Amino acid sequence: MEPPLSARQSIWNGVFDSWADAAACAAIKSGDAPQAFDTSRWLERQSAMLASARSGVSPRHSSLPLFIATSSANSIVDLGGGSGWTFEIVCLNTIKKIAEYVIVEQQTTVDAFASSFKDNDGVRFVASESISRDRINTVDVFYSNSALQYFPDNVFLVDLAAMCAPTWILLDDFQTALGGEFFSTQHYYGIEIPCRFLDLQSTVEEMRRLGYTLQGKWEYPAIIGGHLDRSLGNSPDSHRKIGAPLSLLFKKTPTSSGNSQHTSKSGNAFNSNFIEVT
């Protein structure tokens, strides 16, 4: 049974015109607290998700297993893949052997979970802080689940996709904005995180310039049993709305060379706030 409206709680608060404004507000509210993705709570949550996946229970929805099972793809880059739980779910639900699975994460998470796959040569963790020094081979699929909203823009996505030149790009839990892209802050156990709600058409156009066309989109299953309040807290900006979360599937345009005309803009390090929050 769905809980009454009074029992729902928004995890987002306010509307900002820039990432810098949202980040400044989050810093003031969080005080001296560490970054959310460096906390023991975050790492404990990721550990629990990996344990759940290895026990046969997916900790959250992923479109990747079905895609892998119904395509010829067997090499993946997973941006913001946390503890590597999605790899376990793919292996559990498909008969295909994955040749290569690269998880791009912050150094804190890499240090915590890379050893969990020390006996699997097909899984590799790459620290985002040293991404320009680590070679990532061309892969079949670029995947990301609930990550892009923690980037200030799509530059990082575009640069990494250009680096690994996938045939397919699959984005789960793409947080949409109605009325144009905007920024907010998100509550996470006493810490505020800057976040972004993305304009779908702008992203589709950005991917087209990279050499990818949208093949399909569908609504991503809501988290917390569908009871997550998708309002913006006490924001007075009534024309800025949060849309339904989506899954997006892009494919490299056959006549396009993909990354041949692309010039990196993101520099040598990823933004520190980019991982899924669950």
- Residue 258: inside a domain: no
Per-residue confidence (pLDDT) for residue 266, from 0 to 100 = 56
**Does the structure show a pLDDT above 70 at 82?**
yes
Per-residue confidence (pLDDT) for residue 132, from 0 to 100 = 76
Per-residue confidence (pLDDT) for residue 201, from 0 to 100 = 95
**Does the structure show a pLDDT above 60 at 8?**
no
Q: Which two tokens stand for residue 180?
A: 């144009």
Read off the pLDDT of residues 115-147 as tens digits, 9 standing for 90 and up. Answer: 999 999 999 999 988 887 778 889 999 999 999
**Does the structure show a pLDDT above 90 at 54?**
yes
Domain count within the chain: 1
The CA distance from 40 to 36, in Å, is: 9
Q: What does pLDDT average to over the chain? A: 85
Q: Which domain holds residue 167?
A: 34-179+200-252
The CA distance from 228 to 238, in Å, is: 19
- Residue 29: inside a domain: no
| Average pLDDT estimate for 139-164 | 94
Strand order in the sheet with 191-197: 12-16, 182-188, 191-197
- Residue 242: inside a domain: yes
Per-residue confidence (pLDDT) for residue 5, from 0 to 100 = 40
**Does the structure show a pLDDT above 80 at 239?**
no
- Residue 188: inside a domain: no
- Residue 228: inside a domain: yes
| Average pLDDT estimate for 20-32 | 88
Per-residue confidence (pLDDT) for residue 29, from 0 to 100 = 83
- Residue 238: inside a domain: yes
- Residue 28: inside a domain: no
CATH of the domain at 87: 3.40.50.150
Per-residue confidence (pLDDT) for residue 39, from 0 to 100 = 85
DSSP letter at 35 equals P
- Residue 120: inside a domain: yes
DSSP letter at 2 equals P
